[in-house]
Amino acid sequence: MTPSIARLRIHPVKGAQGTDVDAAEFDDVGPVFDRRWMVVRPSGLFVTQREVPGLATVRPRLADGEMTLEAPGVGTLSVPVAFDGPTTRVRVWEAEVDASTGPPIVDQWMSEALAGDYRLVFMGRDAERATDPTYAEGHRVGFADGYPVLVVGEGSVEELARRAGRAIPVERFRPNVVVAGARPHEEDRWRRFAAGELAFSGVKLCARCKVTTHDQQSGARDPDSEPLRTLAKYRRIEDKAYFGLNAVHHGPGRLRVGDEVEVVERGMVPGAWR
C-alpha cells in the first residue's frame, strides 16, 4: 500500500491544543501558524506542558485573520493573527529570539487561564531561529522544540497501543503529519520523501518526554505513565525513548489530506531503532 497523509495538524500556540486542517501551507519556517505563538514567563523563558500541564486546556482557533483563545473558566478572547507590539527577547531551549508582544489583555487572559504570571508572544517573519546544524544545517524553525515538521505513522501508533494493551491517541505525540498505509515505525528510515508540493528530509527521530503522558484535552497525567512506559521497553536507545520522525522541508508549498507519500531514499536516521 502506498503511504498517504491521513491527518494534518497545526498547534498555533506551543504547548496548547492542536487542530486538524484539510490542507497546510508551508513557508520557509514550517507549517504556517504552527507554533508561531509561545507562552513565556516574565523573564522571557518559554513554558510548555512539561512545567504547566494546564496549557493542554488552552484551545486556539484561527479564522478570518484572528486567533480565538478558549480555556475553562476564562471564556474566549480574540486577537489579531500577527502581534505588532514591541519586541522582547525570549528563550526557547538554548536559542534566544526576538518576539512580538500583543495587547496587555492577552497576557492577562493567559495568566488567568494558567493561574500564574505569563505572557503570550509571537514569532514574526523577521525573527531568526535555526535548526540544529548537526542534523539540519541551513533551515529555520518557529517555536517548535527543534524542527519544523513531525511525522507519525498510524501503524506506529497502532503497534504502540498493541504493546501497551490500550488505545493511545495520536494527539499525545503532537504531530504535524499523520501517515496511513505504512508499516509500524517505517517512517524511522525515511531519509528523503515527498508529498503534495513539498520535498522533505528526515533528519532525526523524536526523543519523547512526559508530555506524551498528558491528556491533550485536560492536561491530566496518565496514572500508568503511558505511553512513555511502553516506549521505554522497546523504543529506547541509551537514556531516551523515540517515537516519530523530525523532518525539514525544502521550499514553500502545500500539503493536503489524502496526498500520497513517495519515499525517495531510505536509510538510517540518527536515533533510529537498530
Region for 15 from its dihedrals, namely left if φ exceeds 0, alpha if ψ lies in -120 to 50, beta otherwise = left
**Chain Cα centroid distance, residue 145:** 8
201-249 tens-digit pLDDT? 999 999 999 999 999 999 999 999 999 999 999 999 888 999 999 999 9
Total domains in the chain come to: 2
Taking residue 135's Cβ as centre, other Cβ atoms within 10 Å add up to 18
For residue 45, the 8-state DSSP code is: B
pLDDT at 121 over 80: yes
Looking at residues 92-109, what average pLDDT do you find?
Answer: 95
How much is the pLDDT for 273? 52
Domain match, 136 and 248 both: yes
Mean pLDDT taken over the chain: 95
**Chain Cα centroid distance, residue 161:** 21
Determine, yes or no, domain membership for 24.
yes
Domain match, 182 and 223 both: yes
Instruction: Give the integer Cα–Cα distance in Å for 35 and 10.
Output: 8
Domain match, 78 and 8 both: no
Q: Which of 60, 95, 122 is the last residue of a domain?
A: 122
Domain match, 178 and 251 both: yes
CA-to-CA dists, residue 86 to 41, 63, 83, 103, 124, angstroms: 16, 24, 9, 10, 12
Looking at residues 137-154, what average pLDDT do you find?
Answer: 97
Judged by DSSP in three states, 231 sits in helix
Looking at residues 80-102, what average pLDDT do you find?
Answer: 93
Looking at residues 77-91, what average pLDDT do you find?
Answer: 92
Q: Which of 83, 102, 122 is the last residue of a domain?
A: 122
Instruction: Give the integer Cα–Cα distance in Å for 206 and 151.
Output: 9
Determine, yes or no, domain membership for 272.
no
Domain that residue 80 falls in: 37-122
Domain match, 113 and 177 both: no
Instruction: Give the integer Cα–Cα distance in Å for 62 and 66.
Output: 6
Instruction: Give the integer Cα–Cα distance in Å for 31 and 255.
Output: 9
Which cell goes with 104?
496587555
Domain match, 13 and 83 both: no
Question: What's phi and psi for 56, nearest 5 deg?
Answer: -65, -20
Judged by DSSP in three states, 132 sits in coil
pTM as predicted: 0.95
Write the single-letter amino acid at 147: Y
CA-to-CA dists, residue 254 to 6, 131, 170, 203, angstroms: 15, 21, 22, 20
